[in-house]
Structure 1
Amino acid sequence: MVSGPDNARATARGEAHSFDPAQALRLAHETLDIEAAAVLGLKARTGLAFTQAVERILAIDGRVVVMGMGKSGHVGRKVAATLASTGTPALFVHPAEASHGDLGMITGKDLVLVISNGGESDEITAILPVLKRLDVAIVAMTGGLQSTLAVHADIVLDSGVAKEACPLNLAPTASTTAQLALGDALAVALLDARGFRAEDFARSHPGGALGRKLLTHLADVMRTGHAVPRVGPDTGFSDLMREMSDKGLGASAVVDAEGRVLGIFTDGDLRRLVEKGIDLRRLTARDVMHPKPRIIRDDALAVDAAELMEQHRITSVLVVDAEDRLTGAVNSNDLMRAKVI
């Protein structure tokens, strides 16, 4: 077994060394404890400066430009993405690229959020004077409260941590976790202040499952016109069955002369009648329909139809207008094809 200094040298050379499961688990638990403490430690230091940052961001006409180097830069990209998806226009600008032309992306209407644990990254300190000349508001997220970044910033958010989770206290671990948490806190406070709703979130995520659920209306997925099976109440049973077979919904609406829904007849209703041994040939749609069926308005979301089907254990639902006139129909297969369920 290689241990101690020999183990460290073997690791440095990229050589294989022994694996201690107990040690790995101990370090995992210790890492989680350290990072949890780092996040909780932010709470007592998140106060007036935080609310001032929220107010400044709400007041700008431009965007939040997020900057950060190294691991803080990775955090910055995530913070910018979270802000943008929750109602605060934001983008990430790499500080090194900013010195080579990307500063042109920043206007006097913007606010710059700079993330740096120590606050002394050369690439960041080099552009701070330029940002000040542009008269751009600077919010610093840093643990270096006396750093160059903090001195140049209009508002300083303290993201400092007592120690990193890295056993060498070198690799950014607890500090980046704290930055992520503080960035999320900023995004949440802003979305609440803006009155941001689930529908607004969906509009930023049209390709995701939530977007489909909140943006897909019944009108987008339901069957309409001749594709909707419908018969009058005096229609004979044979014609009723023919209508159901031709339209392939597994059900047919029964409507009056003005198109208002009187009832529905489904494959399940047919099975139950057959099991009772009833002679169906002389019956009409009125005789076999289920009166006052579950219906849904045509201005509802498709997900509302899915919830109605699940709640009442049905596989199809009729869609009506404000005066209960039949305008469409939808079944579970239609919703699955639209990826609503």
Structure 2
Amino acid sequence: MKTFTKQHVPRFFRRLRLITATIPIVLSWTSGCAARGVVADGNPGAVHAERVVIDSDAPRPPFEFADADEAFLDEIQRAAFDFFWNEADERTGLVPDRTSSDVVSVAGVGFELSALPIGVERGWITRRQGEARARLVLSSLLAQPTNRKAGLFFHFLNPHDASPKRVGTELVVSTVDSAILLAGAITAGQYFGGEVAALGDQLVADADWAFFADHDHPDGEGFLTLGWKPVSDDDPTGKGEILPYFWLDSGDEHRLATFMAVCSPDPDHRLDPAVYYRLRRMLGWHKGEVVWFPYSGALFTAFFAHCWIDYAHLGVDNPSAWGVEQRARVDWWENSRRMVH
């Protein structure tokens, strides 16, 4: 196999065995989309756009790397795993969001759950240890009924009992942070099976994404809201309101949250798959190449969804196959490669 160096592949993508170890989420409707995405039907403009978004000659995983790159990436990956493993609360297994305080972010817990199979595969922990940690984390989350509304979780939790925690002015159920948590639960469940899978499946099934879709707000158009906040801290799962802000664009936060929403196993909790393809795809330029970019322009929104969705193998999508004619077809792997290059 050809050895790629720093000049060939952006640094983030050089450790793709991390991603393959997390068992990416590729559900049936997504595979169907990829299969139907071969022919560019629908909007003629999409064919033209496809020519500048797709590069079939770009290297794809798996990769081999120079020894120096391997050593550097091993060091970074081991240090990241050690944080997830060593800093978690002994009572709940929940990892802190930061070293400066003991607050837990459910998104961080999603990454923690995703890291456990990697630790096993790399030989840093045993399978029994990883399975026990995943079971502790998931059972701790389920045992605390005040930490979620309509199946989605408050952004921040207390580490000792998984109850919701106000951080500054924020006490909010977060759709994107819940999506990352559930992606991690699926990863751990698929890898360890058994009770871990059952606990993860329950979390995924309980998530009522339809509750967080706003069909009345003029900016909502049926898209997913960023979150929900309670009227009172004393009754976090009681009366509250959906935030009037929505996932509208095609950054990784937008796509991952919407992806999870349209893939719910419960049809009453599920959004229409067309919502995923209706996310705005804004055209821009980066280093002389055309890219589709999120409104914020934040770099982290260009790559982290690849940890769970195997865009490298899904290839070009096809919005028109889902009745969305005014969106160009995009290969999200290639788009992310260009964004981080």
**TM beyond 0.5:** no
Superposition TM-score, scaled by structure 2 size: 0.22
Structure number with greater CO (CA < 8 Å, separation at least 6) is 2
Structure index of larger Rg = 1
Q: What is the TM-score of this pair, normalised by structure 1?
A: 0.22
